[in-house]
A and B are shown apart, each in its own frame.
Chain A
């Protein structure tokens, strides 16, 4: 009746997951109860859950990603603390638990923290920067988000119902095949990622189409913001790489469920095939994350230096270069698998070539700062931290790209330090820079500067104190994923890294404090005009938060940095450009499709994991029915009358005119 699922799936005998699960479960119930009892549910349903507005979906992605970042960080605390005490001792986490934790840490951080945060920022910002009202396929956007949430939900359920994979974040066979992983852990992994992978692919299709086909009049390719270019490159990579992940996980699922022999040890299975396919996806994946991060820094550095981005054309070429080259380097993840000198050398050289195009970007950022008037608000601090940190991470990457060096450092803590160096220095720093930068646009008030700066410094210091010792440990021969270790030489470095994690935990606390204090003091931190940072791109032309339709009139773009031109003109002429004749605006209707599809996807996924076949069938049938119901609707848009548009835009215009007046009376020139 319930397949493999029994009451013993709950870890009654393991206090840590049991207590963690109970705390989280009770917390969720409490939040749900508060929402329902206070009567907030209709608001939540109408304004968020069924919303197809890219701004709302972006915020929900960010919420998901930031919460999962916290969960992944807790996994990291457990890993470091285990290694701190497990020198010639068993530690407090037995192997089967520790192995799940490091697997969950990597999986959650990549798929459910970093991806949603980056996709959330792209969702919120790209249509605004393109000067349009929404993405190409708003309902598809909602479906994509909710399917990602399904994946996150399944991974978290594995904590309390069953187990998670014990294979590492990429489940290499034969370890991930049935004989060596007979439990449901790998199945949780497979279905969570297959389902959320569909969601991510939808995002890819959506944004490629939006950036190429839905832009404001006059916005040619070379007038798009740098963030939109990097978003385009990232989404092209999603479209070209995620299907490889889908196919490979399907092959692994076929092995595990139907006795196929793609990767196992019998009947001709080939584990190296898995390694090649998964990394053919895996390498582009890290560029999916880091390219928009570069875009965020381009925006922030130019804004806070008070200068246009240096070498725009070069940056575009470099971005597309990284996009293409990222597809021809995958073998550097397994130089030690014995492919031979010629093959290793070719891939090593290709990997180094990425350093050229990335170096170009770094220099262009430096020249953007050169001759600027740099304001060190929190986003700019994160950018500076990035410039220093990412360069080191990139350097260690190029070192690892030389096969003989990799022959000694592959899978060591040196490697672990390298990829955390680039992901934290690149993606995480960008995430925080982007969140602080665009937070006022999304919510109408800025984040508290003091806590923001504290969070930056603690993260920055914490990162180095954690990972510099790990570089050293790797050079001393320490390999990764050790549940306990015997070598005395490694101990001081492992302990030092633990101190770093403690500092990073303080940083997390600062981030939470920043949010809480900002919400409490939001009146004082209000963004009156919609342009708190003296921005240069189109999103700063709107009110904070923007109305649902973004722009009353799609801007007529005449050059690069269109908003800067508009602003300078307004300052010179001391008034805003005349508003045209307001017309009614049609916007897409809300839809429950996303939520409903994800609900049935969760049901289907859970059934597949536990071999509850009737549940699988039911979930698929209901998903199809839900899809048909959606496809059957006759009205997919609603109209906002011209009077309403005029009223909303009028408020924005009044705030801007007030700003112009105050600026003039304060005697600011130019």
Chain B
């Protein structure tokens, strides 16, 4: 992957203040740390290259014509009646057509390869993580490990992660820029995302869909951990006395200010399903509901 680190403008960047930020690996979209991000970035760069093949000559021609045919340039030939050329029309329609045809191929193949719902290549079974966006925090539930966390999510680096995402309230967008694609979090629906981290590190995650007054506080930390460290993290989480049952969930939902990171040692395994099907609303109470699964 190309290093476009200069974008980070390291000498001008402000000092990282908190331990949280010091944990963040920087670089953004063009310095991905996972295969999904790498795939997306490659397609982006390919598309830029394809487009520049047209844009650069066009910009140069614009500047050249604008300068050469200025009225004060007596050497330029004035062709006041030249308003049509069949051959030029063919080129003018043809070249963009061919380029876009090519780009369409990239689009079709890329959209399928990089479909967020598509499992990543390889046989290892992904870690299942359920994600609920609340006002204004992220809840991560590990159904297999039986733990949960707020505003912090851990992944092992030897396996992909499969995220099932929903929202307790308004639309949000689960996004870790350095690992890969974003996916919408919508109430009453479950969207799917697959990600993998190449190497250990701390990554900045956020919501990419404006969701109200506390939106700017909705960032979270994604910890990519070596397999042993991930096991350690899970064990630590299990030690927590907090239980994520319906009462704890509703209490969490009611907190409006920025929520500190916390871990839950045990979970109600039906909670995510109830939230996703609107049986459990964040205002409390059970209601009848139908979930719609988004592919």
How distant is A587 from chain B, measured CB to nearest CB, in Å? 36
Is the C-beta of A667 less than 8 angstroms from some C-beta in chain B? no
Residue in A167, A371, A375 whose Cβ sees the most chain B Cβ within 10 Å: A371
Q: Does A220 contact B (CB under 8 A)?
A: no
Which residues, 192 to 209 on B, are CB-close (under 8 Å) to A?
Answer: 192, 204, 206-209
Most buried by A among B16, B204, B216, B278: B216
How many angstroms between the C-alpha atoms of A362 and B57 in the bound complex?
A: 12
A405-445 interface code vs B (CB 8 A; 1 in, 0 out): 10111111000000000000000000000000000000000
A284 adjacent to chain B (CB < 8 Å): no
Assuming the contacts A338-B184, A401-B107, A403-B107, asked whether A411 and B41 have C-beta atoms less than 8 A apart, the reply is no
Report the tally of A-B residue pairs with Cβ distances under 8 A: 312
Q: Are A408 and B61 in contact (CB under 8 A)?
A: no
A33: interface (CB < 8 Å): no
Choice from A95, A313, A368 contacting B214 with Cβ under 8 Å: A95
**Does B248 make an interface contact (CB < 8 A)?**
no
Q: Check: B251 CB closer than 8 A to any chain A CB.
A: no
Closest CB in chain A relative to B99 CB, distance in Å: 8
A348, chain B: closest CB distance, angstroms: 4
**Which one of A471-479, A601-609, A610-618 is at the B interface?**
A471-479
Residue of B nearest to A268 (CB): B290
Counting CB contacts under 8 A, is A450 at the interface? no
Interface residues as binary, B104-134 with A (CB distance below 8 Å gives 1, 0 otherwise) = 1011101111111110000000000000000
Q: How far is the CA of A269 from the CA of B70 in the complex (A)?
A: 60
Partner of B59 from A369, A388, A399, A401 at Cβ < 8 Å: A388
- Determine if A487 is an interface residue (Cβ-Cβ < 8 Å): yes
Tell whether, in the assembled complex, residue B17 and residue A395 are in contact, meaning their CB atoms are under 8 Å apart: no
Question: Which residues of chain B come closer than 8 Å to A410, judged between CB atoms?
Answer: 173, 182, 208
A369 touches B92 (CB 8 A): no
Find out whether the CB atom of B216 lies under 8 angstroms from the CB atom of A485: yes
Q: Does B236 contact A (CB under 8 A)?
A: no
CA distance A556 to B66 in the complex (A): 35
Q: Which of B28, B95, B107 contacts A477 (CB 8 A)?
A: B28
Q: Is the CB of A363 within 8 A of B92?
A: yes
Contact A314 to B78, CB < 8 A, known contacts A180-B170, A338-B191, A404-B111:
no
B1-35 interface (Cβ within 8 A of A): 4, 7-9, 12-17, 20-21, 24, 26-30
Interface hit among B46-54, B237-245, B264-272: B46-54
The reply to whether A482 and B216 form a contact with Cβ atoms under 8 Å apart is: yes
Given known pairs A408-B44, A477-B178, the reply for A391 and B71 (CB within 8 Å) is: no
Interface string of B267-284 (1 = CB under 8 A from A): 000000000001001010
Within 8 A of B (CB), among A260-278: 265-266, 268-272
- Are A408 and B115 within 8 A (Cβ)? no
Q: Which residues of B contact A353 (CB under 8 A)?
A: 100
Q: How many residues of B contact A (CB 8 A)?
A: 111
Cα-based distance from A409 to B177 in the complex (angstroms): 9
A340 touches B117 (CB 8 A): yes
- Asked if B183 is an interface residue, CB under 8 A from chain A, the answer is yes
Q: Is the CB of B51 within 8 A of A398?
A: yes
For A476, the chain B residues whose CB sits under 8 A away are: 7-8, 26-29, 177
* Contacts A311-B83, A352-B107, A401-B107; A341 near B118 (Cβ below 8 A): yes
For residue A653, CB closer than 8 A to chain B, the reply is: no
Instruction: Please give the distance in Å from B3's CB to the nearest CB on chain A.
Output: 13
What mask results when residues 354 to 394 of chain A are scored 1 for a CB within 8 Å of chain B, else 0? 01100110111011111111111000000010011001100
CA distance A337 to B295 in the complex (A): 10
> Which of chain A's residues have a CB closer than 8 A to the CB of B107?
345, 348-349, 352, 401-403
| Number of residues of chain A lying within 8 A (CB) of chain B | 101
Bound-complex Cα distance A353 to B16 (A): 44
Is B48 within 8 A of A314, CB to CB? no
* B58 contacts the other chain (CB 8 A): yes
Contact of B16 among A342, A356, A488 (CB under 8 A): A488
Is A467 engaged at the interface, CB distance under 8 Å to the other chain? no
Name A363's closest neighbour in chain B (CB-CB).
Answer: B92
The answer to whether A344 touches B215 (Cβ under 8 A) is: no
Interface 9-mer from A211-219, A300-308, A575-583 = A300-308
The distance in angstroms between the C-alpha atoms of A401 and B107, with both chains bound, is 8
Q: Does A99 contact B (CB under 8 A)?
A: yes
Q: Are B28 and A341 in contact (CB under 8 A)?
A: no
Q: Quick one: which of A313, A337, A398, A492 contacts B294, CB cutoff 8 A?
A: A337
CB pair A266–B278 under 8 Å, yes or no, is yes
Contact of A404 among B181, B206, B219 (CB under 8 A): B181
A480-B58 in contact given A338-B295, A360-B92, A369-B69 (Cβ < 8 Å)? no
- Check B43 for interface membership: any CB of A closer than 8 A: yes
Taking a contact as CB atoms under 8 Å apart, the answer to whether A408 and B177 are in contact is yes
B160 within 8 A of A: no
CB of A472 within 8 A of CB of B106, answer no
How far is it, in angstroms, between the C-alpha of A480 and the C-alpha of B211 when the chains are bound? 11
Chain B residues within 8 Å of A338, by CB: 116-117, 183-184, 189, 191-192, 294-295
Contacts of A362 in B (CB 8 A): 58
A contact residues vs B (CB 8 Å cutoff):
87-88, 95-96, 99, 166-168, 172-175, 179-180, 265-266, 268-272, 305-314, 334, 336-342, 344-345, 348-349, 352-353, 355-356, 359-360, 362-364, 366-376, 384, 387-388, 391-392, 395, 398-399, 401-405, 407-412, 472, 474-477, 479-489, 491-493
- Knowing that A265-B278, A265-B281, A366-B65 are A-B contacts, what are 5 other residue pairs whose CB atoms are under 8 Å apart, sorted by A's residue number? A180-B169, A311-B85, A395-B52, A412-B208, A492-B9
Across the A-B interface, give the 6 residue pairs with the lowest CB-CB distance, nearest first: A477-B177, A371-B79, A407-B181, A476-B28, A345-B111, A359-B96
State the B residues within 8 Å of A (CB): 4, 7-9, 12-17, 20-21, 24, 26-30, 37, 39-41, 43-44, 47-48, 51-52, 54-55, 58-59, 61-63, 65-66, 69-71, 76-85, 88-89, 92-93, 95-97, 100, 103-104, 106-108, 110-118, 169-171, 173, 175, 177-178, 180-184, 186-189, 191-192, 204, 206-216, 219, 278, 281, 283, 287, 290, 292, 294-295
17 inter-chain pairs at a CB distance below 8 angstroms, sorted by A residue, are A88-B17, A95-B214, A167-B210, A175-B170, A180-B170, A271-B171, A310-B84, A342-B112, A360-B96, A363-B92, A370-B69, A374-B71, A375-B71, A388-B59, A407-B116, A407-B180, A479-B208
